[in-house]
Structure 1
């Protein structure tokens, strides 16, 4: 880490508490830039404040300032997780606040690392606003990508999601993904702060660059929306949102009430080709329950199909394996295909290091769920190819579909009843919308409650049912677009973008550094 003088260290220590408090406030403020708030003007306020707070301090102190920003960001941004602990308050309620606080503190290490790296290397930028902002955005990109991949990964509320509600501005995710979009957001958000600290001439140039970046992103997105409009495949959907309270779902005797509600909703007048029930809509082993399948068959018209979430189990020599699954049935009640969730929720669906940690998982069941083999495309008779993503899996950029067997749409079966009427379901929906843009595929989201939606390949929500609503959505399946650049090359496209920005900056810096008025000898008269 960079060495500093004793006087500088004393000055930094004196101002450090104020810096950390302001950084924490900026981090909490940044949450207002993402759904359900989507206040875009908050982006420069939050990231420019962070930029200013980290000036003139060592990398170690910058780590604390960045961690404070992250603590404010995640402390507010994922506060909704506490709701899940109160579903079974008698067993888990006491853990709600310490668990959320602990998770926020761990996640805050990633912004802390980004800011520490920025502070360590910012002297190489010579204080130039463009270079300094670009460095912070690059460090943020790297640590945000790590957050999405390290251990099990948790890419929730990425900086790029501040653009979800803006049709044109979210479209570059089709080329550079959500992490690349985060790079652009942090760069543009920090640049006003860098300009504030710069000389007047550099300040005006920096603010002009912000305008150019925003205009370029908007123009590129507008062109994408207007071009390559896909044709609908002619498939009618019915999404069913049963709105079963999570606290009642697994109670003894509740299975009959749950099944009856889903059957009644499915049997409403209307025509559909695909009937979509959400994650664990049937609270039992449906493939083992012939009577239930027979009743369900009565709600599925001839030639139509049902896709439903249901637990599954497989007997092995070592005992039973349990899966959180999605299963497809025809109108006779015959199972056609299945998919097992591969990206499981720690402590919700399994307990990490369960041999050493004396903890219970929060979901009901006979044991920990086992992970499936990975993303899978289901080929079903009379239906477009579909990629299955169960609940939490939809939050992972680039890890939702089988790249070798490209589907025509993504079905996200989920259950956000765990999180009540908090901001969590809106944030979850934002992730689903970004996957639609990145992959160029429509995403259909059926939730037990909050939020069922039909999303087209540009990330636009065509139909939705809000949290706490019991009902159905009848809608046509939107068409798929051609495979996007991001779907073909993944996060490599972001690296190309970042490298190009640095090369371009190096080029204009070199041109600007050439001596003025220099005349070659052969030009003298």
Structure 2
């Protein structure tokens, strides 16, 4: 690889010559195909791959090195977009299962919808790569006859980390957000997991991207040395390219490599810090998995069978807390079958068990109409006839509400959908033997900032997190493993245990350090009995949310955009 080049055209180059040079340096199609393949490979770094965070670090090193081959912001954006499309089309292919096998959408249309959605998601890594190109002084390259690639720099590495983090945050925020496969999730068992309670999943992605860029920066002089001619004997103090002192050449390798290694070491040591402390007595918990087939759940016979099954499972034996999956009882709470309601009330009062069950909420008007349907969890507390209620706040597009202009798309599927009413962003916890428990439903647990906000702003901060979900829509796919990995990240970020009750899997208990302490085999009927210790106190991430990584990233990108080209120009002009 040749010497680094200036980030802006020289003044003696005409516009026509520069245009000819841009065309001559256009990247071939196979460059983008490689980026797409690497993006697809990145899917393997997520669950169920064990310790996939290390694989992801190697993939990001290659991805950034490949990105530096680009000749301007357009080719950089296309490279990032190709990487993103490869990652998303292979990483969330289970959406095809929900649309085709359970939704009844024709296979070609379901496949096209998956491809279009993946293209949309790929916009964000494309945006990140394009912004990096500008802020790293990479928007324009060298002389008209100069075909040398762009060289990684310190400010370029920081720009890449910052642009990547902001791109992932935007993907998790715009149009209600879809942060699935945020790069930090793969680090749950990787070298940078320790950063999660400090800066959250997007901050973990920032550290990953920075370490990868610094490794490329360290490796670059070695590849240049191999490609360059051997220096003449009269220049023993210079590196093989000549003109640069040996100590400076060594520093170009050692400094970025040292910082990257330091990030890895810090990430491995940070878990030794206990950000939260045990609070209240441990809880004995039973998490139920009914394995009710999705196609039967809303049929009359299937509904009766589900109610009977969960009544039997709830009352099988006592526990401090018993949790069912999302909409385990798929009826309006006011229309609960009397035998079910009487059985769980009597069981709770006689055994001291607190019970959380999923059902449909709603408000009945004076004229008997039901309005404001909600996806809810209802809690029965021993000795109290006041029923607790949690209403889901972050609804699923196309599942719980129909985005404007997409009614035609929903009509292509044969799924019982509706426009649900949103619960409040922060709701009071469910109290179980003096232990506050914070609830979330379905994919609400993929929004770490919202979980942190619930803990930060609640008058009674919870010591235990509970997720009730139904992933039967996605069949026996990697979606189950990926969602469990996401839940583990929430435990790391908050320093609190997470309990998951699911219809088909993964029903699991996660401790405050993100370790799975028990799980049920997917697609089986059973209950998971575990003891969990609640915690108190706030991690740095709970205190500040995503504000830290966003503020740092914006400042670094602004610095890079304002001064990056001049830094590169001075650096190259000194040689």
TM range (shorter): 0.7 to 0.9
Moved more, 286-295 or 245-254: 286-295
Moved more, 297-306 or 110-119: 297-306
Q: Which residue of 1 aligns with 2:433?
A: 382
SS of 1:195's equivalent in the other structure is helix
Q: Which residue of 1 aligns with 2:235?
A: none
Equivalences for residues 86-235 of structure 1 within 5 A: 86-88=100-102, 90-91=104-105, 93-123=107-137, 127-166=151-190, 169-198=192-221, 201=250, 202-221=252-271, 223-224=272-273, 230=278, 233-235=281-283
Deviations 1:170-204 (A, max 9, x none): 23211111111110011112333333333663234
- The alpha carbon displacement at 1:89 in A equals 5.0
How far apart in 1 are the matches of 2:126 and 2:385? Answer: 53
Q: Which residue of 2 aligns with 1:311?
A: 360
Matched, 1:258 2:270: no
How far apart in 1 are the matches of 2:125 and 2:311? Answer: 47
SS of 1:21's equivalent in the other structure is helix
Moved more, 254-263 or 144-153: 254-263
How far apart in 2 are the matches of 1:319 and 1:260? Answer: 25
Matched, 1:18 2:30: yes
Equivalences for residues 436-455 of structure 1 within 5 A: 436-455=491-510
Equivalent in 422, 426, 430 of residue 477 of structure 2? 422
| Greater relative contact order, per chain length (Cα 8 Å cut-off, separation 6+) | 2
Deviations 1:17-58 (A, max 9, x none): 122111111111111112111433422432223222332411
Instruction: Give the conservation status (yes or no) of the 8 Å contact 1:255–1:282.
Output: yes
Deviations 1:364-409 (A, max 9, x none): 5473212112231224363411211101100001102252212121
Deviations 1:128-170 (A, max 9, x none): 543322211111011111111112011111111121124x742
How far apart in 2 are the matches of 1:367 and 1:361? Answer: 14
Aligned CA distance change for structure 1 residues 124 and 96 (closer, same or farther; 3 Å): closer
Q: Which residue of 1 aligns with 2:239?
A: none
How far apart in 2 are the matches of 1:444 and 1:127? Answer: 47
How far apart in 1 are the matches of 2:395 and 2:412? Answer: 12
Q: RMSD between aligned alpha carbons?
A: 3.1
How far apart in 1 are the matches of 2:342 and 2:405? Answer: 39
How far apart in 2 are the matches of 1:355 and 1:183? Answer: 34
TM-score between both structures, scaled by the size of structure 2: 0.80
SS of 1:310's equivalent in the other structure is strand
- The alpha carbon displacement at 1:477 in A equals 2.5
Instruction: Give the conservation status (yes or no) of the 8 Å contact 1:44–1:192.
Output: no
- The alpha carbon displacement at 1:2 in A equals 7.7
How far apart in 1 are the matches of 2:136 and 2:73? Answer: 10
How far apart in 1 are the matches of 2:84 and 2:43? Answer: 11
Equivalences for residues 241-390 of structure 1 within 5 A: 241-269=289-317, 271-289=318-336, 290-300=338-348, 301-316=350-365, 320-330=371-381, 334-353=385-404, 357=408, 359-360=410-411, 364-365=415-416, 367-380=418-431, 382-390=433-441
How far apart in 1 are the matches of 2:555 and 2:137? Answer: 21
Instruction: Give the conservation status (yes or no) of the 8 Å contact 2:391–2:422.
Output: yes
- The alpha carbon displacement at 1:95 in A equals 3.4
Matched, 1:34 2:34: no
How far apart in 1 are the matches of 2:91 and 2:40? Answer: 7
- The alpha carbon displacement at 1:357 in A equals 4.3
Moved more, 493-502 or 136-145: 493-502
How far apart in 2 are the matches of 1:281 and 1:92? Answer: 28
How far apart in 2 are the matches of 1:377 and 1:245? Answer: 32
Q: Which ranges in structure 2 are unaligned for 5 or more consecutive residues?
A: 1-6, 10-14, 140-149, 225-248
Instruction: Give the conservation status (yes or no) of the 8 Å contact 1:280–1:310.
Output: yes
How far apart in 1 are the matches of 2:86 and 2:312? Answer: 45
Instruction: Give the conservation status (yes or no) of the 8 Å contact 2:426–2:457.
Output: no
Aligned CA distance change for structure 1 residues 131 and 430 (closer, same or farther; 3 Å): same
Matched, 1:69 2:76: no
Q: Which ranges in structure 1 are unaligned for 5 or more consecutive residues?
A: 515-525
How far apart in 1 are the matches of 2:395 and 2:417? Answer: 16
Number of aligned residue pairs: give it. 505
Moved more, 30-39 or 440-449: 30-39
Deviations 1:206-236 (A, max 9, x none): 2232211101111122x225x7552562321
Q: Which residue of 2 aligns with 1:519?
A: none
Aligned CA distance change for structure 1 residues 338 and 469 (closer, same or farther; 3 Å): same
Matched, 1:404 2:473: no
SS of 1:306's equivalent in the other structure is strand
How far apart in 2 are the matches of 1:10 and 1:240? Answer: 61
- The alpha carbon displacement at 1:69 in A equals 0.6
Q: Which residue of 1 aligns with 2:443?
A: 392
Q: Which residue of 2 aligns with 1:60?
A: 74
TM-score between both structures, scaled by the size of structure 1: 0.88
- The alpha carbon displacement at 1:292 in A equals 2.5
SS of 2:162's equivalent in the other structure is helix
Instruction: Give the conservation status (yes or no) of the 8 Å contact 2:276–2:539.
Output: no
Task: Please tell me whether Structure 1 or Structure 2 has the larger radius of gyration of its CA atoms.
Answer: 2
